[in-house]
């Protein structure tokens, strides 16, 4: 194998790393649970890093889910503010992703779920190649207008629990329109992770933007 | 879709610069323009200035930089151009104001650098958003805008 071919092979074998951030209870873990069968059907080899404050709660939930082999999930205990380990010093998460990549090679995709945080949380691009931010309608229709860095800067914004809009007095069309406006037109998707509604489009975005499918 | 999986070298290297110069004469050099922050990404889907859809997927040990050459063939080359970071320069009024301003910037997780008595904040978004956060510091004179410059 030539040096060029070896280099191309190494790059090809390197998994895409995608962050998932968002407030507590917005549906980050449910999003992963909804995406797993879709990526399985597409033949995508996938692993997950979860972040919790002082437990392995989300990792154990996914390991018990039957949706993914338990050894493909690693939990990181942040021990402090969740954004610290995805932005200021993402060493713990980089090491966890590297470990998965070494053990499970070849991998196509590693999802890195942040612990629940506030609207200011963002991912370091030293850790991920691309990141999504998940909010939900029950948090209030005015959330996009507050222009939190998570909402403004994420590569993909997901507004989850779309089915709850009429029950919590949220104008879903207005919420999505305002979200698009503060994001300068970058993508905003509506989902209902419980039913799977909208998740195909999330998978399509990841397939195009980081898995480099045509 | 054009797959680009390695950094061949930099446009400033003499041998590469000569080839790029020749290709450029025939309009065969395409440019990918990125914000400084985006150069940390190992994977990105982006179009060149000539509209070619590029799928960049690098090894994790590689890092994009201004002038990185991702394709160098007889028919075509692809080069990365990094937008220069814009810095907002702030001059605190005195030591107490400097302490407060430093704390404030840190609390907002702003990227800063120091030049003498100036604090320079990297603008990762609209300038107006930063000025809105700094309004109290600027209005009561604890800090003033000074010499906004550009460059890495």
Residue B111, min C-alpha distance to chain A (Å): 11
Residues B114 and B126 grouped into a single domain: yes
Contact at CB, A11 and B57, closer than 8 angstroms: yes
Q: What range defines the domain where residue A35 resides?
A: 14-209
- Distance from C-alpha of B121 to C-alpha of B105, rounded to nearest angstrom: 8
Q: What range defines the domain where residue B141 resides?
A: 86-150
Q: What is the per-residue pLDDT for B152?
A: 42
Residue of A nearest to B60 (CA): A14
Residues B7 and B65 grouped into a single domain: yes
Percentage with pLDDT > 70 across chain A: 94
- Taking a C-beta distance cutoff of 8 angstroms, is the pair B78, B2 a contact? yes
Domain presence at residue A35: yes
- Distance from C-alpha of B63 to C-alpha of A189, rounded to nearest angstrom: 30
Q: What is the per-residue pLDDT for A12?
A: 57
Q: What is the per-residue pLDDT for A10?
A: 60
Domain presence at residue A4: no
Number of residues that this document lists for chain B: 152
Domain presence at residue A6: no
Spell out which residues of chain A touch residue B5, defining contact as CB-CB under 8 Å: 7-8, 11-12
Here the CATH number for the domain that contains residue B116 is: 3.30.70.240
Q: Which of B3, B38, B40 sits opposite A126 (nearest CB)?
A: B40
* DSSP strand pairing (B86-92 vs B143-145): antiparallel
Here the CATH number for the domain that contains residue A116 is: 3.40.50.300
Residue where a domain terminates, one of B36, B52, B82:
B82
Q: What is the pLDDT of residues B72-103, one digit of tens each?
A: 999 999 999 999 889 999 999 999 999 999 99
Residue where a domain terminates, one of B26, B54, B82:
B82
Residues B8 and B76 grouped into a single domain: yes
Residue of A nearest to B42 (CA): A129
Q: What is the mean pLDDT of residues B115-137?
A: 92
- DSSP code string of A116-181: SB-TT----TTT-SEEEEEEEGGG-TTTGGG--HHHHH-SEEEEE-GGGGGGTT--HHHHHHHHHH
* DSSP strand pairing (B29-34 vs B77-82): parallel
Contact at CB, A210 and B59, closer than 8 angstroms: no
- The domain tally of chain A equals 1
Residues B55 and B75 grouped into a single domain: yes
Q: What is the mean pLDDT of residues B35-60?
A: 95
Residues B61 and B110 grouped into a single domain: no
Q: What is the per-residue pLDDT for A9?
A: 59
Q: What is the per-residue pLDDT for A14?
A: 87
Domain presence at residue A41: yes
Domain presence at residue A3: no
Tokens 């109290």 found at: B136
Residues B59 and B92 grouped into a single domain: no
- Distance from C-alpha of B78 to C-alpha of B72, rounded to nearest angstrom: 7
- Distance from C-alpha of A32 to C-alpha of A48, rounded to nearest angstrom: 9
pLDDT-wise least confident of A162-166, A175-179, B74-78, B106-110: B106-110
Q: Is A124 on the interface with B (CB under 8 A)?
A: yes
- Mean pLDDT value across chain A: 92
H or E segment at B114?
Answer: strand B112-115
Please, what's the b/e burial string for A147-176 (b: 16 or more CB within 10 A of its CB; e: otherwise)?
Answer: ebbbbbbbbbbbbbbbeebeeeebebeebb
Q: What is the per-residue pLDDT for B151?
A: 42
- Taking a C-beta distance cutoff of 8 angstroms, is the pair B30, B78 a contact? yes
A6, pLDDT greater than 70: no
A2, pLDDT greater than 80: no
Residues B23 and B71 grouped into a single domain: yes
pLDDT-wise least confident of A19-28, A65-74, A115-124: A115-124
Q: What is the per-residue pLDDT for A181?
A: 94
Contact at CB, B45 and A212, closer than 8 angstroms: yes
Residues B51 and B118 grouped into a single domain: no
User: Taking CB atoms and an 8 Å cut-off, how many pairs form between chains A and B?
Assistant: 56
Residues B78 and B104 grouped into a single domain: no
Q: Which of B1, B6, B40 sits opposite A11 (nearest CB)?
A: B6
Domain presence at residue A1: no
- Distance from C-alpha of B147 to C-alpha of B152, rounded to nearest angstrom: 15
- The domain tally of chain B equals 2
Reduced to 3 states, what is the DSSP secondary structure of residue A67?
Answer: coil
Grade residue A3 by pLDDT with cuts at 50, 70 and 90. Answer: low
Q: Is A184 on the interface with B (CB under 8 A)?
A: no
Here the CATH number for the domain that contains residue B13 is: 2.60.260.20
- Distance from C-alpha of A122 to C-alpha of A82, rounded to nearest angstrom: 10
A184, pLDDT greater than 90: no
Residues B137 and B114 grouped into a single domain: yes
A149 φ/ψ angles, rounded to the nearest 5 degrees = -55, -35
Tokens 């704390």 found at: B103
pLDDT-wise least confident of A110-114, A180-184, A204-208, B87-91: A180-184
Q: What is the per-residue pLDDT for B91?
A: 97
The residue among B9 and A59 whose pLDDT is bigger is: B9
Grade residue B149 by pLDDT with cuts at 50, 70 and 90. Answer: very low
Beta carbons within 10 angstroms of residue A214's beta carbon:
7
- Mean pLDDT value across chain B: 93
Q: What is the per-residue pLDDT for B129?
A: 87
Residues B24 and B75 grouped into a single domain: yes
Residues B115 and B136 grouped into a single domain: yes
- Distance from C-alpha of A52 to C-alpha of A55, rounded to nearest angstrom: 6
- Distance from C-alpha of A150 to C-alpha of A148, rounded to nearest angstrom: 5
- Distance from C-alpha of A96 to C-alpha of A103, rounded to nearest angstrom: 11
- Distance from C-alpha of A63 to C-alpha of A36, rounded to nearest angstrom: 12
Q: What is the per-residue pLDDT for A8?
A: 60
Q: What is the per-residue pLDDT for B78?
A: 98
The residue among B37 and A135 whose pLDDT is bigger is: A135
- Distance from C-alpha of B50 to C-alpha of A183, rounded to nearest angstrom: 25
Contact at CB, B57 and A153, closer than 8 angstroms: no
B28, pLDDT greater than 90: yes
The residue among A81 and A212 whose pLDDT is bigger is: A212
Residue B29, min C-alpha distance to chain A (Å): 21
Grade residue A11 by pLDDT with cuts at 50, 70 and 90. Answer: low
Residue where a domain terminates, one of B64, B82, B100:
B82
Which residues are bridge partners to A50 per DSSP? A75, A113
Residue of B nearest to A155 (CA): B44
Token digits of residue A40: 């399985």
A180, pLDDT greater than 70: yes
């Amino acid at each position: 194998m030539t040096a060029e071919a070896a280099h191309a092979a190494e790059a090809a074998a390197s998994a895409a790393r995608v962050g998932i951030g968002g407030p507590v209870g917005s549906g980050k873990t449910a999003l992963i649970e909804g995406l797993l069968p879709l990526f399985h059907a597409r033949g995508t080899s996938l692993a997950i890093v979860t972040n919790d404050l002082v437990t392995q709660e989300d990792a154990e939930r996914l390991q018990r889910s039957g949706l993914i082999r338990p050894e493909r999930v690693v939990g990181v205990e942040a021990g402090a503010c969740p954004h610290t380990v995805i932005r200021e010093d993402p060493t713990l998460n980089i090491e966890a992703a590297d470990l998965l990549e070494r053990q499970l090679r070849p991998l196509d995709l590693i999802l890195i779920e942040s612990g629940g945080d506030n609207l200011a949380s963002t991912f370091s691009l030293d850790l991920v190649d691309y990141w999504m931010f998940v909010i939900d309608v029950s948090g209030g229709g005015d959330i996009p207008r507050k222009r939190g860095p998570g909402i403004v800067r994420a590569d993909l914004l997901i507004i989850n629990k779309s089915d709850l809009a009429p029950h919590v007095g949220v104008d879903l069309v207005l919420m999505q329109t305002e979200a698009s406006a503060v994001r300068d037109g970058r993508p905003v998707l509506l989902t209902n992770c419980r039913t799977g509604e909208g998740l195909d489009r999330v998978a399509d975005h990841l397939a195009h933007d980081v898995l480099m499918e045509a | 879709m054009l797959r680009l999986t390695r950094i061949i070298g930099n446009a400033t290297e003499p041998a590469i610069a000569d080839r790029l110069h020749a290709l450029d004469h025939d309009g065969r050099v395409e440019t990918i323009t990125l914000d400084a922050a985006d150069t940390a990404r190992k994977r990105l889907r982006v179009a060149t200035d000539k509209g070619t859809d590029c799928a960049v997927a690098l090894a994790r040990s590689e890092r994009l930089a201004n002038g990185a050459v991702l394709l160098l063939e007889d028919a075509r080359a692809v080069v990365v151009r990094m937008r220069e970071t814009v810095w907002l320069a702030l001059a605190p009024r005195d030591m107490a104001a400097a302490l407060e301003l430093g704390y404030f910037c840190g609390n907002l997780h702003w990227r800063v650098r120091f030049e003498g008595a100036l604090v320079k904040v990297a603008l990762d978004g609209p300038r107006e958003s930063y000025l809105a956060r700094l309004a109290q510091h600027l209005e009561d004179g604890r800090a003033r805008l000074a010499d906004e410059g550009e460059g890495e």
